[in-house]
Structure 1
């Protein structure tokens, strides 16, 4: 831990400033108490960070669950009833981990993962533009295209020019200049500028600017454009912010349905984030996914027991951690400790941070996720990579995160099916021999029902008076659906004067009377099939 502290401490401070408004914004978007978002952030940092096998992933409340939480609280009749579902959801995640369901995360195409990162980067920038100008139309945690204010991501941008807060805009521009100068120039000049991160300097400058301009008629920034952390008056009022689950509703079927929904969505979002952060990690560490599910389940149980929102690993905070130089889980844990200390000791100071400063920090994070050159790289890889990538990006920007991933994955599956259709076999056509066309059909190593259409089409298109050599020497798996196609073709072949030579590792069989019987009598292993 101490060996990497020079990297992890500055990164944890950046992650803290990114996480703070997101925890509050997601709680607001979820219709939950603001303090519940902070609880989830603290538990995600300290508990999940300690148990997780990820070195750079950061966990906390997730925007992707906000709509589910909002609906669930109403369905179950109160926040304390909803907390029961959070606890049960955590237990279900533990079961997922024990059953080793984490392997699902490895089956998401790279193009979809890159599209997810890019889409989130674009969303971060678009959602922070209003805050940068001082027009705070919606909470920070809302990542969907449509907003609760009957506006959408783009329509809200049209109102910015009518609602500019000059003080917010000035300090936003100054903060962005500091961040760019720090990243491109100062960090390369001296080690002190690597230890003290630009975002921390931007936040300090923002607090000073707010303090100096409070009484200024033009440059002052109102409380609605600042961070808004609950400020308890004493210890008892602080403890009163905690909520506890009402286990009296545990027999309600709706509680179990919502618990399973939370477990499923939170697990999928976590696994996607794990895959994405591992790709961003410059050290290319591989996160054990089953351990991650166990860590997330434990975190959700504890979060639900003390009044917190559901937790997942989250890409915005994780990418901010990576981009700020975090190299071990210490960064994640320290960011959770900073959240805890801040809400206990300095909530008043935090409430002096302009939202436009945090927007400038998130601009940089978003740009690094969605660099323009990535679009060209994906285009150069061909349509099989660029189409799922583009669909994922558009789905995230114009609908929401889960829809974007779902659409991208669906297109990715179609691409796989097309590729499988094309690569099930290849033909070699020779000149006529003894009055017959000689055609050699060699099947691929793995031939499944996905290949039915291509093989059936090829067999049906064979001309009469053909000599067909069907080569299975390299085929390791042959689906029963394909065997049935060959069985039907053997009957048609006699009618069309087509001779069939079946070539396998056991030798050559001429015009087998029954393919079904052939494979039944000879174990697949004896034919070179597994």
Structure 2
């Protein structure tokens, strides 16, 4: 890591703390939903932060165990019959990801339209809110938690939320309401401008205040006190031997088992796809509009998953929930992701007793606010104003994710987006040509007659290859249609050009507003 990584410590360390507070319940919850040991979720979070964070080329993306893999992992563990056999599949999945990175398959992420990516963000935000509502109401595993929290995006489980009134805990509701109030307050301009808000993130205030309120309940209003089942539960480690016993090795004797390979291929491909989509989404909410190298990300993810499989961790992907929390908290470099990994590791070693005091309602409030920022009403308005070709894939993606699952939602959204592309192509034939002319210090990029999101990858590469200090002219004079995704790429390039001392001029290319996802 170069000096530049350490040049934003005042931004990155508080952001890493926020991501840690977001990641901790997710690591535990996803492990629980996957039918895996709880500690395997922590291992995955640590590796996702420290190892993948160090190897990744992304400044904003954060990796860890993902809700999108929950069903796949649960089915694989069940079918393979033992967790250590499943770990072998995780190792092989990591190797597959490294092969994909070497083959430069990461460009597939460029061919997903912006409307679908934004729909994925909003859909995940809505699902995140739905998952956290039971915790906010004080419903836990002793009160039929699995009935109310749809880790699998199942419509019946979503509809079951209406039954929460039969199980709610007033103490948890009070803590949740106060926590959300604090987080809303921390987002107000008057608080954001204050110096203390840069040092003391809102989620930290929420956690400390939640612990305090629950202690107050214990001594003053015992009927509202939240017991151990309503709080974080981490293993206490009292010796080196006890610590080492929490790790598990894969069963290499099953290397020729066809079911292991099937699980490995499934995890490798789906984890790679989710990573590439999350990477693209994280770049969109990066205020500096930096573009992350997808092939390097696949290599980093593959390395992380190999290590996870060797020591007993769940498979990981780049995760937009953590990444969004990272950007929202003010992160500037990948040091925040690495720092959150060290915090996860240190927390289970040194302060499990303190962490076990945190009410789950506090963590639910943090995640509900993250979900809200991913699915703001203003995002729906913006997409609607862009027209049906942007709004319909966006809304279909959301509905597919909420009613079915992540991959089905993305597939439906892609299908609708492709229909609009084909209709446009039918109405207006075009040649897929781009020319780049260099005259001295000037680079001219002439766009073709119609430029769709399918051309986004080629344009990104062309812009990325431009040397520092050039004068760039992007000419759309010949273009009848320039897709919104391409306009967004051009706007992001213009935003980031100053860092490379590049002057950018455009001809007959309208400006668009980008980056308003959070």
Q: 1:4 maps to what in 2?
A: 8
The match for 1:74 is 78
Asked if the contact 2:149–2:157 (Cα under 8 Å) also holds between the matched residues in 1, the reply is no
More displaced 10-residue stretch of structure 1: 253-262 or 49-58: 253-262
SS across alignment from 2:64: strand
Match status 1:421 vs 2:426: yes
Question: Could you tell me which of 215, 220, 223 is aligned with 1:211?
Answer: 215
Higher mean C-alpha deviation, range 356-365 or range 319-328: 356-365
TM superposition shift of 1:445:
6.3
| Number of equivalent positions | 427
8 A Cα contact 2:60 2:334, kept in partner: yes
Evaluate the alpha carbon distance shift between residue 189 and residue 49 of structure 1 in structure 2; reply closer, same or farther with a 3 A threshold: closer
CA–CA separation in structure 2 for the residues paired with 1:342 and 1:266:
27
Further displaced range: 230-239 or 117-126:
230-239
Pairwise CA distance, 1:296: 0.2
Structure 1 portions without partners, runs of 5+: 426-443, 448-473, 475-530
Q: 1:384 to 1:221 in 2, by over 3 A?
A: same
- Cα distance change on mapping 1:188 and 1:318 into 2, 3 Å: closer
The equivalent of 2:94 in structure 1 is: 90
Answer yes or no: is 1:144 the counterpart of 2:152: yes
> What TM-score comes out, normalization by structure 1 length?
0.78
Contact map agreement 1:22 1:141 (CA 8 A) in 2: no
Moved more, 311-320 or 354-363: 354-363
- Other-structure match for 1:511: none
Structure index of larger Rg: 1
Give per-residue Cα distances to partners, 1:55-101, cap 9 Å, x unaligned: 01000011111111111112212000111110011011000000000
Q: Distance in 1 between matches of 2:391 and 2:187?
A: 30
Instruction: Identify the match of residue 162 of structure 2 among 152, 155, 158.
Output: 158
How far apart in 1 are the matches of 2:81 and 2:124? Answer: 32
Q: Whole-Å Cα distance in 1 between the matches of residues 375 and 48 of structure 2?
A: 26
> Paired residue for 1:356?
361
Contact between 2:123 and 2:402, CA under 8 Å: does it hold in 1? yes
Pairing 1:375–2:383 present: no
Tell me the SS of whatever aligns to 2:224: coil
Assess, with a 3 A threshold, how the Cα gap between structure 1 residues 183 and 57 changes in structure 2: closer, same or farther. Answer: same
**Which runs of at least 4 in structure 1 moved beyond 6 Å after TM superposition?**
444-447
**Residues in 2 aligned to 1:80 and 1:281: alpha-carbon distance in whole angstroms:** 38
For the Cα contact (< 8 Å) 1:226–1:355, is it kept in 2?
yes
For residues 100 and 239 of structure 2, the distance between their equivalents in structure 1, rounded to whole angstroms, comes to 41
Counterpart contact for 2:131–2:149, Cα < 8 Å: no
Query: Is contact 1:103–1:289 with CA below 8 Å preserved after alignment?
Result: yes
Q: 2:25 aligns with which of 21, 27, 33?
A: 21
Asked if 1:297 corresponds to 2:302, the answer is yes
CA RMSD, Structure 1 to Structure 2 (Å): 2.0
Q: Judge which range, 185-194 or 383-392, deviates more.
A: 185-194
Give, in angstroms, the shift of residue 159 of structure 1: 1.6
- Counterpart of 2:35 in structure 1 is 31
Structure 2 gap segments, 5+ residues each: 431-447, 452-477, 479-518
Spell out the pairing of 1:123-202 with structure 2 (5 A cutoff).
Answer: 123-136=127-140, 137-138=145-146, 143-146=151-154, 151-155=156-160, 157-202=161-206
Equivalent position of 1:438 in the other structure: none
The aligned counterpart of 1:391 is: 396
Quote the offset at 1:198 in angstroms.
1.0
Shift of 1:144: 2.7
Alpha-carbon distance change, 189 to 329 in structure 1, aligned in 2, over 3 angstroms: closer
Match of 1:487 in 2: none
1:308 to 286, 301, 313: 313
CA contact (8 A) 1:63 1:141 kept: no
In 2, the alpha carbon distance for the partners of 1:84 and 1:204 equals 40
Cα distance, 1:141 vs structure 2:
8.8
